[in-house]
Chains A and B, each alone.
Chain A
């Protein structure tokens, strides 16, 4: 039972990342009709926003400590971040410690801007082109973005820690009446799950309860009619592209303490996120979220040693197997709408 609960918890944080990326993908597909293969790169860019802020906060000047020596026997150079000079040692250290959550503030405008530039600068020229062309151009864009990050940050993963306050784990075992240390789960992963739920809720609320969201939903259902009413639906869809980019970026920012960011991390998530979108149903936002969590949890169970022993390699293919079965039974995915991508 404890293993069962643990694997569900495990699947929730992985599923949360899939759900956030798939949500953005679906938003873009639903509004602009574009299959955006650069969406994984946006997740990666978000993670590197956190890395960048962390590095900026640690820009330092060197102070020589004559009382100690370095590994070469020279007086030891101690790097003191400027922020500690300006705000004091304790406050400066606390801000550096909290750099990942603080990155959220920076990431939202940066990612919206990147999204808008991407859409206006490149992707809008491919609206009327076949999906194959859109896939090729966005995939190419993803590779370009990856290589830019690699050129600036190198190829190695960059460990980026969560605030010290969240370094430990929460003992669910005690809470649920099991023995201590049986259902132990890291605080940060719980925070990631809760954060993703807040972001997903915010996106749904934005679409459901604001005038802007109502127009966007109307545009998703019938773009031409909304346009004939004198509404500049293209501009609204551009903003939605920016919002989708911000959602992917936020998913990346908060994921940095879970897996050290590297230039390739977007690609690792992209393929699985597309499977999530297809399983959820092309164009269905709730479907993307549901499929994200479902496939995350399934992948987690398939990685259990008893399962791998019974069916070697199942952890690598489970998502694709389940996707095949779902698409055979429900060709439009779990919550797919009739007519979407069926032309």
Chain B
């Protein structure tokens, strides 16, 4: 008779141990992570390479996310030689020839960050483990960008940040595997302050409503730094939850606060709602301290302007890019029209700044791979660090090696008083040159973190 050593208890114990082992994040155990075959994570095999586009398809920033996704799709088409080529024709580097990346056809997968860091990380993790993506791009929330950037650093992937505006993304939370093309709140402050002073003077009292997460805090700090430096007094700062919907209880105290300026450190759907409600509550028609009450939206976008409608008229803000740049400001911004033509023909409306930054990031990644002749993230990082380029719509641009932040001109805009059509909602007021927008590497608002070393994931 054969006696088995298995007991019910032993079986349960073994089962539990096996289950726990399987339940460990496969990112630390799976073949995707170990990448023993080629020395870096998810090395592409066969004739294709997969990119991961992780954008908010739901939540307060879903409009931006939808436009980012459109731009990524367009970038993939152009990389694969479809369509009219867009900015490939104007890009100062001529390495991309429409045959994919290093001869591999580009494919992509998408994820919904839901404007939530945990959801975004989970979506990115799935892309890395299940879809085998070699690079992740996307954003529209700095909280999300910072979280996904850290994950990509751990996993050994390049993260090409989409729309993320907090100083922290390339400040205290910067990573060697992460790169940001979009501008940041420090640059917005530098660009906006002189315009605000010229239009509203030095004797103003400001009230801040601020989205309660990394971007909002960063935006408020930068605006306070620059407005207080020119003489404005900050009367109050109030944090508001992201996706609050109804901001009325935050807006009503503003009228009695003694402030004559409301600075809305909100973005996306939140900004549309808070601005609309501020106008409904009569703030734009009000007089305070003997002056016309005014509203400022430091980070602007055409999409938000479309959502806010007539409420946006006359309100100042800053942008990373605008689809009218080349027509209004000339050849320095070449690439703009090529992109607008491609995007507009495909989708029927002009691209937003979120779309432009994502499109450019996808092309910059492909170019860096081509120049480095490898998908290895450390090779890509090396190719991007200190890279100077032009023809992508922003004028001459530098990817600074010290913090992986792009430096380029900043656009100061104002809601147009008499728009000619539904897309003509924003007026370019001024351009802040790259040199003025550039801050030193040791700027105090960017301290507290370091890039560390590149992680190929092997």
- Are the chains A and B members of one assembly? yes
The reply to whether A185 and B281 form a contact with Cβ atoms under 8 Å apart is yes
B241, B256, B285: which contacts A182 (Cβ < 8 A)? Answer: B256
The reply to whether B249 and A304 form a contact with Cβ atoms under 8 Å apart is yes
Q: Does B350 contact A (CB under 8 A)?
A: yes
Residues from chain B with a CB closer than 8 A to the CB of A316 are: 241
Residues from chain B with a CB closer than 8 A to the CB of A71 are: 323, 340, 344, 349-350, 421, 423-424
The reply to whether B250 and A303 form a contact with Cβ atoms under 8 Å apart is yes
| A44 to B126 alpha-carbon distance, docked (Å) | 32
Chain B contact patch, size range:
35 or more
**Given known contacts A2-B256, A182-B256, A156 and B421 CB-to-CB distance under 8 angstroms:** no
The reply to whether A155 and B59 form a contact with Cβ atoms under 8 Å apart is yes
A10, A68, A154: which contacts B248 (Cβ < 8 A)? Answer: A10
Residues from chain B with a CB closer than 8 A to the CB of A181 are: 255, 282, 286-288
Tell which of A85-93, A125-133, A257-265, A274-282 binds the partner: A257-265
B245, B246, B345: which contacts A72 (Cβ < 8 A)? Answer: B345
Find the A residue at minimum CB distance from B349. A71
**Given known contacts A155-B58, A181-B282, A258-B246, A3 and B256 CB-to-CB distance under 8 angstroms:** yes
Q: Does A70 contact B (CB under 8 A)?
A: yes
Q: Does A76 contact B (CB under 8 A)?
A: yes
| A258 to B62 alpha-carbon distance, docked (Å) | 20
Q: Does A184 contact B (CB under 8 A)?
A: yes
B272, B344, B423: which contacts A159 (Cβ < 8 A)? Answer: B272
Q: Does A232 contact B (CB under 8 A)?
A: no
The reply to whether A308 and B238 form a contact with Cβ atoms under 8 Å apart is yes
The reply to whether B269 and A157 form a contact with Cβ atoms under 8 Å apart is yes
Q: Does A208 contact B (CB under 8 A)?
A: no
Residues from chain A with a CB closer than 8 A to the CB of B308 are: 159
Residues from chain A with a CB closer than 8 A to the CB of B250 are: 303, 305
Task: Return A272 CB to nearest CB of chain B, in Å.
Answer: 12
**Interfacial residues of chain B within 22-70, with CB under 8 A of chain A in the complex:** 57-59, 62-63, 66
Residues from chain B with a CB closer than 8 A to the CB of A167 are: 280
**Given known contacts A169-B280, A184-B282, A7 and B249 CB-to-CB distance under 8 angstroms:** yes
Residues from chain B with a CB closer than 8 A to the CB of A265 are: 245
**Interfacial residues of chain B within 311-349, with CB under 8 A of chain A in the complex:** 323, 340-341, 344-345, 349
The reply to whether B236 and A305 form a contact with Cβ atoms under 8 Å apart is yes
Interface string of B254-265 (1 = CB under 8 A from A): 011100000000
Interface string of B267-285 (1 = CB under 8 A from A): 0010011001100111001
Residues from chain A with a CB closer than 8 A to the CB of B419 are: none
| A268 to B59 alpha-carbon distance, docked (Å) | 13
The size of the chain A interface, using a CB distance under 8 A, is 46
Interface string of A85-104 (1 = CB under 8 A from B): 00000000000000000000
Interface string of B283-309 (1 = CB under 8 A from A): 001111000000000000000000111
**Interfacial residues of chain A within 189-214, with CB under 8 A of chain B in the complex:** 189
A3, A13, A72, A185: which contacts B253 (Cβ < 8 A)? Answer: A3
Task: Return B44 CB to nearest CB of chain A, in Å.
Answer: 32
Task: Return B429 CB to nearest CB of chain A, in Å.
Answer: 19
**Given known contacts A72-B340, A156-B66, A159-B307, A184 and B286 CB-to-CB distance under 8 angstroms:** yes
Kindly name the residue among A10, A156, A265, A316 whose own CB sees the greatest number of chain B CB atoms within 10 A.
A156
| A258 to B281 alpha-carbon distance, docked (Å) | 11
A2, A182, A260: which contacts B272 (Cβ < 8 A)? Answer: A260
Kindly name the residue among A154, A182, A305 whose own CB sees the greatest number of chain B CB atoms within 10 A.
A305
| A38 to B328 alpha-carbon distance, docked (Å) | 52
Residues from chain B with a CB closer than 8 A to the CB of A189 are: 248, 280
Q: Does A299 contact B (CB under 8 A)?
A: yes
| A157 to B60 alpha-carbon distance, docked (Å) | 8
Find the A residue at minimum CB distance from B238. A305
Find the B residue at minimum CB distance from A304. B253
The reply to whether B255 and A159 form a contact with Cβ atoms under 8 Å apart is no
Q: Does B374 contact A (CB under 8 A)?
A: no
Q: Does B438 contact A (CB under 8 A)?
A: no
The reply to whether B246 and A259 form a contact with Cβ atoms under 8 Å apart is yes
Interface string of A154-190 (1 = CB under 8 A from B): 1111010100000111010000000001101110110
The reply to whether B273 and A70 form a contact with Cβ atoms under 8 Å apart is no
The reply to whether B245 and A299 form a contact with Cβ atoms under 8 Å apart is no
CB-CB nearest 9 A-B residue pairs = A303-B249, A169-B282, A186-B280, A155-B58, A184-B282, A6-B252, A259-B245, A156-B62, A181-B286
Give 16 A-B contacts (CB < 8 Å), ordered by A residue: A7-B252, A10-B248, A10-B252, A14-B249, A72-B344, A155-B62, A159-B307, A167-B280, A184-B282, A260-B272, A260-B307, A268-B245, A300-B249, A304-B249, A305-B250, A308-B239
Beyond A14-B248, A186-B277, A305-B250, list 8 extra A-B contacts (CB 8 Å): A71-B344, A156-B66, A182-B255, A186-B280, A186-B282, A188-B280, A303-B250, A305-B253
